[in-house]
Amino acid sequence: MALRVATRAAPALLRTANPWPPSLHITKPSTVGRLSGSYSPLGHVIRRADDGRRSLSFLSRRKPNPRLRTHAVNIFDGDYEERGSTGGPFEDVYDEEEGWEVSPADAEEDPEDAEMYPDTDSQADMLVQDDALEHHRANQAQRMKWIENAKPPVRVPQIDDRGRAYGLGRRKTATARVWIYPGSGVVTVNKMPFVDYFEREALREDILSPFIVTRTCGQFDVRCYCHGGGKSGQAGAVRLGVARALEKYNPEYRPPMKHKGLMTRDPRMVERKKIGKKKARKAPQWVRR
């Protein structure tokens, strides 16, 4: 519903502080095409607050919403001061002169209230602390296990009733069983003096190297039985057997022999012959023509 303003009344309206009624809105001429209304003397469009699209009669035609609780009322009135002064339910709740009366019993926590309103934050913190403590204990147990495993094994002398120490040695395909016992330094291999069994001096020196390293030359007699392989392999097997027997007789002999590599089994084996070659790696002589 548009309201048209007369041109003669324009000067009077312009002289007032607010010439247009509060129910009217003035828009720029650029909105003329979108809004319905009339022109003011200044060229503006005048429209009502309802945007001029619907008449005021539509309010009277609206039906009440049956879902609205029109019968609902507030339990307490909003004017608490007036009700308190007239002896209402908020009378004498707090006295400014006396203040609140606090007793030690009020500071104690009621078990029933604690069950109804548990402190979830403290419970969560306790669970986190328990998990952290359990994880720490597991780490400590694993750490102690690693420390125990890292410790060197306790070695004790292993001597039989006859006062002998036994050692088993292998080299390539040869195997040697060695017994040592206190004596004058006699070495017997397969019931033969090792000077006759091992003709090469280098092999005999290799057999006596454990006694040289431990500085026990001439203090032990050696009896060994070896089989398999050749003389070089058997000499290496006897040397390893002598070193292991000395360790069992006295564990203090182990560090110097370990430092020289006498306690390690030689893993090298004979390489197989290849097809098309004379030996493992030797190829036939090459001829140009």
Distance of CA 74 to the CA centre of its chain: 58
**Which pLDDT value is given to residue 152?**
83
CA proximity to 265, closest of 242, 240, 233: 240
The ranges assigned to domains in the chain are 1-59, 165-260
Whether 173 and 160 have beta carbons less than 8 Å apart is answered as no
Query: Whose CA is closest to 174, among 203, 137, 201, 153?
Result: 203
β-sheet with 174-182: strand ranges across: 165-171, 174-182, 220-227, 187-189, 192-193
Q: Which residues pair with 165 in a beta bridge?
A: 180
Residue 221's φ and ψ, nearest 5 degrees, are -100, 145
Polymer length of the chain: 289
pLDDT at 103: 63
Report the pLDDT value the prediction gives residue 2, as an integer from 0 to 100.
44
Pinpoint the alpha helices (H) of 166-267: 194-197, 201-214, 231-249, 254-260
187: its two tokens: 């070495």
Taking the C-alpha atoms of residue 196 and residue 76, their distance in angstroms, rounded to an integer, is: 124
- Distance, CA of 255 to CA of 13 (rounded, Å): 119
The pLDDT of residue 111: 59
The tokens describing 26, both together, are 């003035």
pTM of the predicted protein model? 0.52
Task: Tell the residue number behind the tokens 């597991």, with chain if given.
Answer: 138
For the record, the structure tokens of 64 come out as 């009440």
Task: Give the residue among 258, 248, 260 at the shortest CA–CA distance from 158.
Answer: 248
Domain at 165-260: CATH architecture: 2-Layer Sandwich (3.30)
Blockwise average pLDDT, block size 10, the chain, 289 residues = 44 47 46 45 46 53 64 53 50 56 60 58 85 94 91 90 96 97 95 95 96 95 96 97 96 95 96 96 92
Cα-Cα end-to-end distance for the chain: 123
